[in-house]
Structure 1
Amino acid sequence: MNTLLVEEKPDRVVVRLHRPEARNAIDAEMVGDLHAVCGLLERDPRPLLLTGGDGVFAAGADIGELLRRGREQALQGINSTVFERIRRLPMPTVAAVDGHALGGGAELAYACDIRLASTRARFGNPEPHLGIIAGAGACWRLRELVGEPLAKLVLLAGHTIEAPEALASRLVAALHEPGELETAAHRLIDRMTEVSPAALRLTKLVLDAPPSAHPVADHLAQAVLFEDSDKEARMRKFLDRKRKDTT
């Protein structure tokens, strides 16, 4: 891949946005590469760690490409389609955001399940300054993540969410110094890999289900897990350890 650096591990996949000459601006080639990563993770589900470069996550979509796009390309949802595919990946996704996450870069981070950020992270959606909307998810995902007042401040008034406000608004789960960010992200994924992969996958599925799907979705997921041999092994191990602790 020309726009991503991909490291496959048995228990996770690490993807680094890699267009340093363009501050990791998201172009059509990167969209294609992200689709390829999604295909990999749909075939072989593992947690995803998505990050950028030193001091920049992604500075937005490629403006040169956006300038050449017209109505038909807008209706295709080129960026929003891959971001939604990332959102629907079967296992958790973690974005480690260092520096600028603007425009499409911010929308890519919004699509991940959990965001960690460095102390110099900045989130913003300045698309109206370019005569367009934040059309790849920000107009509805950001409201879900931080609430309507802050979302409108960002989308209508060009407000930039600096790292402390990102933490206070729960847009990000934690802040770390830039040199410690990726280590912290790996520690978070380490905790995910300690649990049952099937339970992790089904928990994400139930969490993302629409309200009308509950409690049926919960019951069906639990029914699948109750018949899983991993559930029996983990529960027996827990009970054996508890018996040893009491003797």
Structure 2
Amino acid sequence: MSDSTTGASHTLASTRTFETIRLRESDDRLHVALDRPEVRNAIDLTMVEELHAVCDHLERQPKVLIISGTEVNGKGVFASGADIAQLRERRRDDALAGINSQVFSRVARLPMPVIAALDGWTLGGGAELAYAADFRIATPRVRIGQPETNLGIMAAAGATWRLRELVGEPLAKELLLAGRVLDADEALAARLVTALHPPEELLAAADALADRICAQDPLAVRLSKAVFHLPEAAHPMVDELAQAVLFESPAKFDRMQAFLDRKNTK
């Protein structure tokens, strides 16, 4: 089921229908709501394929991506993890194909920033999808954890390295090896999420953050994100090359002149 905001030049929802996600798109952002409430938004192969379609679209038409869950029986759910019924049947070759890790890495590499708006259960693959975002905001109902080892597997879609980068090794090991689940206050204290909002205000807060991002120069944002994620050995040369591109951009001259004009009128 898909819906789209009118006014966008070419919306993803106009090209196909979706079974596991709902879409709301405008000229500068795309909101994807995970929508499998009957299984608490468990990530199945159809959802993976539909997230790949989202990435296809945003690689061609860069926009801010907001990912959220849905409300189930009055309670928020981001994603409860991978679909266990499908996961149980996967074998060695499925693991080597990186079904979930490939799409999460693609989300992380999108040209413009990704915002994860988390409410309720954010577990397993759902948590790993959230770690792939550039920003994570949440509600007081959020619960984040990695239950994979209790199921006889490991968190293999990014948690073993992204989580260590986000919260540090000691806490990452508690989640990955001891099954610890963080509540909202713990996630905020660990800076795994950067802000808490009432459930009814979560999406408005995500849009407000997207507004701030979209007020920046898009090329400067894209290059800053790309350079930020490069290995240390690439710096400072890559910073200087990216800056050289920006120094020649029309937006740099227009925005700096506007700044000087405002300063001179004060």
Question: Is TM > 0.5 for Structure 1 vs Structure 2?
Answer: yes
| TM-score interval (norm. to shorter) | over 0.9
Q: Partner residue of 1:75?
A: 96
**Distance (Å, rounded) in 2 between the aligned partners of 1:234 and 1:110:** 33
Q: Give the alignment partner of residue 205 of structure 1, picking from 226, 231, 241.
A: 226
Corresponding residue for residue 151 of structure 2 = 130
* CA positional deviation for 1:8: 1.4
Amino acid of the structure 2 residue aligned with 1:96: A
Q: Distance in 2 between matches of 1:101 and 1:3?
A: 17
1:75-134 superposed Cα distances (whole Å, 9 cap, x missing partner):
000000000000000000000000000000000001101100101100000001110000
1:23-62 equivalent positions in 2, closer than 5 A: 23-54=40-71, 55-62=76-83
How many Å separate the matches in 2 of 1:157 and 1:130? 12
Aligned counterparts, 1:1-247, within 5 A = 1-54=18-71, 55-245=76-266
Unaligned runs of 5+ in 1: none
SS at match of 1:89: coil
Instruction: Provide the C-alpha distance between the structure 2 equivalents of 1:195 and 1:108, rounded to a whole number of angstroms.
Output: 25
d(CA) in 1 for partners of 2:217, 2:134: 18
* SS state at 1:24 partner: coil
Please tell me the residue identity of whatever aligns with 1:192: I
Shift of 1:6: 1.2
Question: Which one-letter code corresponds to 2:56 in the other structure?
Answer: G
**How far, CA to CA, are the matches of 1:195 and 1:154 in structure 2?**
36
Tell me the distance in 2 between the aligned counterparts of 1:238 and 1:178: 37
Alpha-carbon RMSD across the aligned residues, in angstroms, is 0.6
SS of 2:137 mapped into structure 1: strand
* Residue identity (%): 59
Per the normalisation by structure 2, the TM-score is 0.91
Q: Structure 2 CA distance, aligned partners of 1:113 and 1:217?
A: 20
TM superposition score normalised by structure 1: 0.98
| Alignment partners' CA distance in 1, 2:143 and 2:53 | 28
Secondary structure of 1:183 counterpart? helix
Opposite residue 40 of structure 1, the aligned amino acid is H
Q: Alpha-carbon deviation of 1:7?
A: 1.4
Structure 2 gap segments, 5+ residues each: 1-17
**After TM superposition, what 4+ stretches of structure 1 lie above 2 angstroms from structure 2?**
none
**Whole-angstrom CA distance in 1 between matches of 2:231 and 2:34:** 31
Report the Cα offset of residue 141 of structure 1. Answer: 0.8
SS of 1:165's partner is helix
Where 2:70 maps in the other structure, the secondary structure is coil
Q: Whole-Å Cα distance in 1 between the matches of residues 55 and 143 of structure 2?
A: 26
CA–CA separation in structure 2 for the residues paired with 1:124 and 1:241:
48
CA deviation after TM superposition for structure 1 residue 161, in Å:
0.7
Letter in 1 for 2:63: R
